[in-house]
């Protein structure tokens, strides 16, 4: 075992904020080296420095003992460092093979013939167990498969060190296990993997070494055998992370939301059919499933963004099937949308303006047709405090915030209206551990106060941790409804693939 | 935060002005013109004496109105390229009211004229707006096309129902509106009337609306992110209609005020570039309402000075049009070297 990459005294600041400060890190050949840390801790910046997307203000990088300068991703790839980003860089309408070959320097020929590379790519697929149909278009692949293509792409470019940025955030448990076996095969073939994550369980499962970053500083690098998950969490957030306090359901079971024989779908929404379930007061109902199996359609019909073809929705004893979004909000439905950037926030505007969205027509914000900015100030300051949003002032644009803090703004806004039903879609996606825990506690608080939560999440841990009952969706239908106790990961996984 | 934004907007405006002037100087050199003479006449024409200054301020009024027209619609993510047509519709409506009811007292005709102008402009803007929210017709295309319809429709009105026999009618003009229907002149002997005060008042009202009114706030949200607006219960379509309605009403009022304050009769296509100039000013002001009068002043200085420059500076007026063209190009350059690079994304 010898060192392959050494980072020495790396520093980078944006404005007067240090993203990375005095970072010394050694990566050994053949290791799976996890980099953990909360959002904003500086993980991505560090990896972007290594991958040549960001240039450091100070510090040295050594590759196999030689001091090097990485000025662009091109340099990084030439050295054998490849990165799979959280958001895929693939052309949807191209085939797998075209995507893999795209951007390679021409080999002395004028016409682009991806066919010539087929045998070479097939060899790599076989070596690493990364089977993909080379002639399928990217748009027809599942998320897990797309990730595979990304890995193939960098392997084909000769990467020996592979950086995976939050690779499991979007995968099902089964897909995660497949990714892990790929990682193990990579290691066996003398590759090195840098694994960026904040999912502790996965980090503990796959890593050889773990480095934790906090506020731009490298806290420590440890061997996996030497630590427990609790220790790693402590390194990341600088304090103990207590487990969530869950309460069972109370005896009374009043119905909050009743969905009967729902059918819906249009060109932008996957079709759903035969959807019937009820949600009680004081209950958290989880909706699990691989993304794209109708969960978004279901949510949009309940919040009122999409009409139904048949069936009805009864909320709090009232048929709301034909109500507008605004009317449903008025009746007490809160919505934490899946995509906070496009559906949840008016990005360039201030936190204050975003926090009063939805209550602008109500007392005390509305006063004689005008907006009472004094009240808006009070409410937004209160919410920023209560949700400990990291922000310079309430006037700062939310576009400057990290994902976790953006999400806190959305959650704060929705819960501030004290809705009877909260529809939470991927509430903690891309959100750091501390904020995730806080958001989950908020949802449990809703339940405690007798409200109901419909929790749609691709994160099974989250679903299992919070839900009283779990609906699994597959191909636009409900493939199973389970009590929390009987919902094992295997069982959920099977239902998610329609093999219930 | 806000202060910073205004400062950067001002720097951008200054940069635009300097660029335009620089390129104009080069053009003057190529054309072998006397630069000193040309520019001294330009400045003299804009602010050199009381009468010229009055002319500059007088020309500001419709420019402010048209810039507001564009900016208000833009707040609701509507691209109103049809200010010109709405302006003419407002002007012709005001003229028509005065000509049809000459017996009414002048003060009443004045008020009715302005109201008729606002209604005319608003309706002209609402047709494309409805087509947009109902049938998703691109409002850029429809508003632009409506300008042509407005020019020919008003020509029809002048030539048929309001035709006056004789030279006036043949020249493409209606009869004069009653004498009393006019605005108070502020500087004697000039065309500067209280019209400019109306324009400044309109600016203040629109600014107040956007900052304080619930509907103004909702329109801003719609303009920034219509999807998020929809998901939080904001009636997106009605806010877009509102923005277009206000926008058209301002253009219509602008047209009506020009008739009542200055022209006293409707002449076919009497201000062929105000709509376009309004867009330019709006862009220069970065769509910020309080900055619109400042930008309007700059452009009206150019236009007013151009008249003197043409007469005494031996420079053709078309040069000024070229300068305005250059301004547009420079304004649309989004990434100015000092205006800050794209926002840095903070990520872990």
Question: Do the beta carbons of residue A296 and residue A338 sit within 8 Å?
Answer: yes
- CA distances for A437 relative to A99, A463, A484, B268, angstroms: 38, 13, 19, 69
DSSP A313: E
From CA A449, how far away is CA A160, in angstroms rounded?
A: 53
Neighbours of A335 (CB within 10 A): 29
Residue with the two structure tokens 């061997």: A223
3-class SS at A56? coil
Residues of B in contact with A395 (CB under 8 A): 1-2
Give the DSSP letter of residue A334.
E
- Predicted complex: ipTM over 0.85: no
Read off the pLDDT of residues B20-79 as tens digits, 9 standing for 90 and up.
778 878 888 887 778 888 888 888 888 888 999 999 999 999 999 999 999 999 999 999
Asked if residues B72 and B206 have their Cβ atoms less than 8 Å apart, the reply is yes
Query: What tokens were used for B225?
Result: 């992110």
How many whole angstroms separate alpha carbon A440 and alpha carbon B237? 35
Say how far apart CA B178 and CA B260 lie, in whole Å.
Answer: 10
Q: What is the DSSP code (8-state) at residue B46?
A: I
User: What is the pLDDT, as a whole number, of residue A467?
Assistant: 92
Separation in Å, CA A320 to CA A282, A450, B42, B89: 20, 21, 67, 44
Please list every residue in chain B whose beta carbon sits closer than 8 Å to the beta carbon of residue A301: none
Question: What distance in Å separates the CA atoms of residue A197 and residue A229, rounded to the nearest whole number?
Answer: 13
B341 shares contact with chain A (CB less than 8 Å):
no
Distance of CA A60 to the CA centre of its chain: 32
Q: Do residues B338 and A8 make contact, with C-beta atoms less than 8 angstroms apart?
A: no
Reading the block at residue A337, the tokens are 């949308």
A371: β partners: A366
Q: Is beta strand A58-63 parallel, antiparallel or unpaired with respect to A366-367?
A: unpaired
At B186, list the tokens: 């502020």
Q: What is the pLDDT of residue B345?
A: 34
Find the length of chain A. Answer: 500
d(Cα A233, Cα A240) in Å, to the nearest integer? Answer: 7
Q: How many CA atoms lie within 13 A of B61 on its CB side?
A: 25
Q: Looking at chain B, how many residues does it have?
A: 348
CA A353, A359, A364, A366: dihedral to nearest 10 degrees?
Answer: 80
Please check whether residue A357 touches B, CB under 8 A. yes
Q: Which pair of tokens denotes residue A116?
A: 């010539």
Say whether residue A307 is in contact with chain B using an 8 A CB cutoff: no
| Contacts B344 to A, Cβ<8 Å | 14-15
Instruction: Catalogue the E-assigned strands of A153-297.
Output: 161-165, 192-197, 209-214, 217-223, 255-266, 269-280, 284-288
pLDDT at B231: 93
Q: What is the pLDDT of residue B340?
A: 40
CA distances from A175 to A8, A79, A219, A410, A449 (A): 35, 29, 31, 30, 37
Sketch out chain B's domains with CATH numbers.
Answer: 2-347 (1.10.3470)
CA-to-CA distance for A461 and A176, rounded, in angstroms? 13
Rounded to a whole number of angstroms, the distance from the CA of B233 to the nearest CA of chain A is: 4
Q: State the Cα angle at B90 between B88 and B94, rounded to 5°.
A: 115
Task: Report the share of chain A in percent with pLDDT over 90.
Answer: 26
The per-residue pLDDT for B348 is: 34
3-state secondary structure of B175: coil
Which strands make up the sheet holding A421-425, listed edge to edge? A333-336, A421-425, A452-456, A284-288, A469-474, A477-483
Is A40 close to B230, i.e. CB distance below 8 A?
A: no
Query: From the CA of A156, how many Å to the nearest CA of chain B?
Result: 28
Q: For residue A21, is the peptide bond before it cis, meaning its omega torsion is within 30 degrees of 0?
A: no
> What is the four-CA torsion angle of B111, B112, B113, B119, rounded to 10 degrees?
120
Which two structure tokens, joined as six digits, stand for B205? 């009202």
Confidence band for B332, pLDDT divided at 50, 70 and 90: low
Mutate which: B136, B225, B348, vs A, most A CBs within 10 A: B348
Q: How far apart are CA B204 and CA A380, in angstroms?
A: 27
Q: How far apart (Å, rounded) are the C-alpha atoms in residues B347 and A41? A: 8
Distance between CA atoms of residues A473 and A296, nearest Å: 11
For residue range A304-355, list pLDDT tens digits in order. 999 899 898 999 888 999 999 999 998 999 999 988 888 899 988 999 999 9
Burial of A499 (0-12, 13-18, 19+ CB in 10 A): exposed
Q: What is the CA radius of gyration of chain B?
A: 21
Q: Is 60 exceeded by the pLDDT of residue B347? A: no
> Which residues in chain A show pLDDT less than 70?
1, 15-16, 105-112, 114, 240-252, 499-500
Q: Is A395 on the interface with B (CB under 8 A)?
A: yes
What's the gap in Å between the CA of A344 and the closest CA on chain B? 5
Pairing of strands A3-14, A58-63: antiparallel
d(Cα B62, Cα B42) in Å, to the nearest integer? Answer: 21
**Measured between alpha carbons, how far is B152 from B180 in angstroms, rounded to an integer?**
29
Neighbours of A380 (CB within 10 A): 27
CB contacts of B238 in chain A (<8 Å) are: none
Note the pLDDT of residue B12. 72
Chain A touched by B230 (CB under 8 Å): yes
* Residue A290 near residue A322, CB atoms below 8 Å: no
Contact A398, A406 (CB under 8 A): yes
**pLDDT tens digit string along A8-23?**
888 888 766 778 888 8
The CA radius of gyration of chain A, in Å to the nearest whole number, is 24
Decide if A144 touches B, using CB distance below 8 A.
no
Please report which residue ranges of A341-488 form alpha helices under DSSP H.
351-355, 373-386, 403-416, 433-448, 460-466
Q: What 8-state DSSP symbol labels residue B173?
A: B
For residues A375 and A373, what is the distance between their CA atoms, to the nearest angstrom?
5
Chain B hits for A402, Cβ within 8 Å: 346-348
pLDDT of the residue at A444? 92
**DSSP symbol at A340:** I
Tell me if A370 sits within 8 A of B214, measured CB to CB. yes
- In angstroms, the CA A281 to CA A249 distance is 9
Chain B nearest-CA distance from A272, in A, is: 21
pTM: 0.77
DSSP annotation of A224 reads: G
Span B67-98, pLDDT tens digits:
999 999 999 999 999 999 999 999 999 999 99
A349: nearest CB among B224, B227, B346: B224
pLDDT over 50 (residue B344): no
Interface test with B, best of A15, A307, A346 (most B CBs within 10 A): A346
Residue B247 has pLDDT above 50, yes or no: yes
Q: How far B213 CA sits from the closest chain A CA (Å)?
A: 4
| B296: nearest Cα among B333, B327, B258 | B327
Query: Please, are residues A313 and A319 in contact by the beta-carbon 8 Å criterion?
Result: yes
Rounded-to-integer distance, Cα A15 and Cα A327, Å: 44
CB contact under 8 A, A353 and B346: no
Q: What span, in angstroms and rounded, lies between the C-alpha atoms of B257 and A226?
A: 82
Lookup: tokens for A373: 């900015």
Distance of alpha carbon A34 from alpha carbon B198, whole angstroms: 66
Burial class (CB in 10 A: 0-12, 13-18, 19+), B123: middle
Contact B247, B210 (CB under 8 A): no
Quote the CA–CA distance of A37 and A333 in Å, as a whole number. Answer: 34
Contact: B1, A396; criterion CB under 8 Å:
yes
- Using one digit for the tens of pLDDT, what is the confidence trace for B153-207? 999 999 989 988 888 888 889 988 988 888 888 888 888 999 999 999 999 999 9
**CB distance from B30 to chain A under 8 Å?**
no
Pairwise CB contact (< 8 Å): A303 & B231? yes
Among partner residues A15, A305, A397, which is closest to B231 by beta-carbon distance?
A305
Secondary structure (3-state) at B207: helix
Structure tokens at B162: 């309001």
Q: Do A305 and B228 touch (CB under 8 A)?
A: no
Q: Which two structure tokens, joined as six digits, stand for B233?
A: 């219960």
Determine the residue of chain B that is closest to A355 in CA distance: B232
Q: Edge-to-edge, what's the strand order for the sheet holding A3-14? A: A66-68, A58-63, A3-14, A17-28, A217-223, A209-214, A32-36, A192-197, A161-165, A81-84
């Amino acid at each position: 075992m010898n060192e392959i990459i050494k980072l020495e005294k790396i520093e980078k600041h944006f404005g007067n904020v240090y993203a990375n400060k005095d970072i010394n890190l050694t990566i050994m050949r053949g290791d799976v080296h996890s980099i953990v840390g909360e959002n904003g801790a500086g993980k991505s910046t560090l990896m972007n420095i290594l991958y040549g997307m960001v240039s450091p203000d100070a510090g040295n990088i050594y590759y196999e003992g030689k001091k090097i300068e990485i000025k662009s991703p091109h340099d990084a790839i030439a050295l054998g460092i490849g990165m799979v980003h959280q958001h895929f860089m693939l052309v949807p309408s191209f085939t797998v093979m075209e995507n893999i070959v795209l951007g390679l320097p021409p080999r002395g020929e004028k016409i682009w013939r991806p066919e010539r590379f087929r045998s070479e790519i097939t060899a790599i697929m076989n070596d690493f167990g990364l089977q993909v149909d080379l002639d399928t278009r990217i748009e027809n692949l599942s998320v897990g498969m797309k990730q595979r293509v990304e890995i193939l792409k960098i392997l084909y470019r000769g990467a020996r060190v592979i950086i995976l940025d939050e690779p499991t955030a979007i995968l099902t448990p089964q897909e995660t296990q497949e990714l892990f076996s790929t990682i193990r095969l990579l290691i066996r073939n003398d590759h090195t993997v840098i694994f960026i994550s904040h999912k502790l369980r996965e980090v503990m499962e796959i890593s050889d070494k773990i480095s934790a970053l906090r506020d731009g500083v490298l806290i420590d690098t440890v061997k996996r055998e030497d630590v427990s998950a609790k220790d790693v969490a402590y390194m990341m957030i600088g304090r103990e992370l207590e487990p969530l306090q869950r309460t069972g359901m109370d005896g009374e079971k009043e119905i909050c939301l009743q969905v009967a024989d729902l059918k819906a779908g249009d060109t932008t929404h996957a079709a759903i059919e035969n959807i019937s379930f009820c949600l009680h007061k004081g209950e958290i109902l989880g909706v699990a499933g691989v993304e794209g199996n109708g969960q978004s359609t279901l949510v949009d019909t309940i919040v009122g963004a999409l009409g139904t073809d048949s069936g009805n929705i009864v909320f709090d004893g009232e048929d709301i099937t034909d109500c507008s979004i605004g009317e449903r909000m008025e009746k007490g439905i809160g919505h934490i949308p899946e995509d906070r950037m496009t559906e949840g926030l008016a990005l360039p505007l201030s936190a204050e303006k975003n926090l009063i969205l939805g209550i602008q027509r109500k007392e005390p914000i509305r006063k004689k047709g005008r907006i009472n900015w004094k009240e808006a100030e009070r409410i937004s300051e209160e919410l920023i405090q209560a949700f400990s949003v990291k922000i310079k002032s309430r006037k700062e644009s939310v576009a400057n915030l990290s994902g976790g803090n953006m999400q806190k703004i959305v959650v704060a806004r929705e819960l501030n209206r004290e809705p009877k039903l909260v529809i939470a879609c991927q509430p903690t996606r891309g959100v750091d551990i501390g904020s995730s825990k806080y958001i989950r506690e908020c949802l449990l608080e809703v339940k405690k106060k007798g409200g109901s939560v419909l929790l749609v999440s691709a994160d099974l841990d989250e679903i299992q941790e919070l839900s009283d009952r779990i609906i699994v969706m597959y191909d636009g239908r409900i493939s199973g409804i389970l009590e929390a106790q009987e919902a094992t990961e295997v069982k959920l996984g099977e239902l998610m693939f329609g093999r219930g | 935060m806000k202060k910073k934004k205004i400062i950067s907007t001002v720097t951008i405006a200054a940069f635009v002005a300097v660029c335009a002037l620089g390129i104009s100087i080069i053009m003057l050199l190529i054309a072998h013109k006397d630069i000193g003479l040309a520019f001294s006449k330009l400045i003299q024409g804009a602010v050199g004496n009381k009468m010229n200054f009055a002319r500059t301020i007088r020309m500001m009024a419709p420019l402010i109105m048209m810039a507001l027209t564009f900016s208000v619609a833009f707040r609701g993510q509507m691209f109103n390229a049809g200010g010109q047509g709405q302006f003419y519709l407002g002007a012709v409506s005001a003229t028509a009211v005065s000509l049809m009811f000459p017996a009414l007292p002048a003060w009443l005709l004045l008020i009715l004229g302005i109201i008729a102008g606002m209604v005319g402009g608003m309706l002209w803007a609402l047709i494309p707006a409805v087509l947009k929210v109902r049938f998703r017709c691109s409002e850029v295309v429809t508003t632009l096309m409506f300008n042509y319809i407005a020019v020919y429709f008003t020509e029809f009105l002048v030539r048929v129902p309001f035709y006056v026999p004789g030279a006036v009618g043949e020249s493409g003009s209606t009869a004069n509106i009653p004498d009393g229907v006019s605005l108070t002149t502020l500087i004697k002997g000039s065309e500067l009337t209280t019209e400019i005060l109306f324009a400044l008042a309109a600016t203040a009202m629109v600014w107040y609306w956007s900052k304080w009114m619930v509907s103004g706030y909702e329109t801003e949200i719609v303009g920034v992110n219509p999807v998020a607006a929809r998901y939080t219960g904001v009636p997106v379509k009605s806010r877009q209609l509102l923005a277009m309605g206000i926008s058209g009403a301002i253009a219509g009022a602008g047209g009506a005020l020009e008739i009542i304050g200055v022209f006293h009769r409707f002449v076919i296509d009497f201000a062929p570039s105000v709509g376009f100039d309004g867009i330019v000013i709006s862009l220069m002001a970065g769509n910020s309402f309080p900055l619109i009068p400042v930008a309007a002043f700059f452009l009206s200085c150019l236009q007013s000075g151009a008249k003197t420059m043409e007469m005494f500076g031996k420079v053709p007026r078309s040069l000024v049009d070229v300068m305005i063209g250059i301004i547009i190009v420079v304004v649309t350059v989004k990434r100015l070297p000092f205006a800050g690079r794209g926002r840095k994304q903070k990520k872990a």
